[in-house]
Amino acid sequence: MKRGAETNETMAFKFHYLAYIIDELIKFKQRQSNAKKEKADDKKVDVIELFIRNLLKPGKDGYLEYMDAFIKESIREFPYRESTLFRQMVTSLTGKDPPSALSIINAAINGQKGFIDNVSVCSTCGEEKPAKKCSKCKAVQYCDRNCQRLHWHWHKKACQRLSQGVEPTEVACKPDAADISADIQNLLVN
C-alpha cells in the first residue's frame, strides 16, 4: 500500500483479512487452552474445526451472527482507511438495509459478479460449482467430504425436510422470473 501508484488495495485487504483470521485463531486457541486447564480435560480438540463451527453456527433466525461480526471487525481494523476499497466496504455496511458482511467482503476480494444468482456454491465455503451433493436430500452441495462434515451439524436439521421435497424458507422467498415480469408489467401499466 505504500508503493505509490502501484498499490493493490485488494491484495492488501486479502493479506489483512488472512492475518486477521490467523490472529483470531491464535486467540481462539489460547482461550481453548485456558478453558482446558480449568477443566483439567485431556481430550484432544481441533481448534480450527471449533473455530469454523463457531463461524458457521446460525443464530435463532438462521443468520450467521458470529461470522458477520467477525468480518465487520476485520474490516474495521483494516489499517489503510484512505483506500477506496475500505470506503466502499464501509459505505455498503452502513447503508440502509445493508447486505451481509460476507457478501461485501466476497465482492471486495473476488470482484462484483452480476446476474449470477443461480450458480451453485458449496454450502460450507462458498466455492463455486461444487463437485458433491448431500447423498440424502440432493439439495445441498459441497466441495468435498470435509466441507460436508463441517456443515453436517447444521444441515442435519433441514436434511429430512429437503429429502421430502419441502423447500427451505430461503428458496421459497426467492421470486421467480414470472413474478418479476408480472411486477414490471404492473409498474408499466400504472
Q: Please give the pLDDT value at position 77.
A: 92
User: Coil, helix or strand for 123?
Assistant: coil
- pLDDT values of the chain reduced to their tens digit, one per residue, 190 residues: 666 666 788 888 889 999 999 999 998 888 877 877 766 656 666 778 888 888 888 877 777 888 888 999 999 999 988 888 888 888 888 878 888 888 888 887 776 655 555 667 787 777 778 888 888 888 888 888 888 888 887 788 788 777 776 554 444 344 555 665 566 555 555 4
Q: What is the pLDDT of residue 164?
A: 74
- What is residue 73's predicted lDDT score, i.e. its pLDDT? 92
Return the residue matching grid coordinates 453456527: 57
How far lies 66's CA from each of 6, 62, 99, 147, 152, in Å? Answer: 35, 11, 15, 19, 18
pLDDT of residue 22: 93
Overall pTM > 0.75: no
For residue 10, the model assigns a pLDDT of 84
How confident is the model at residue 20, as a pLDDT? 93
Helix or strand holding residue 55 (H, E): helix 47-56
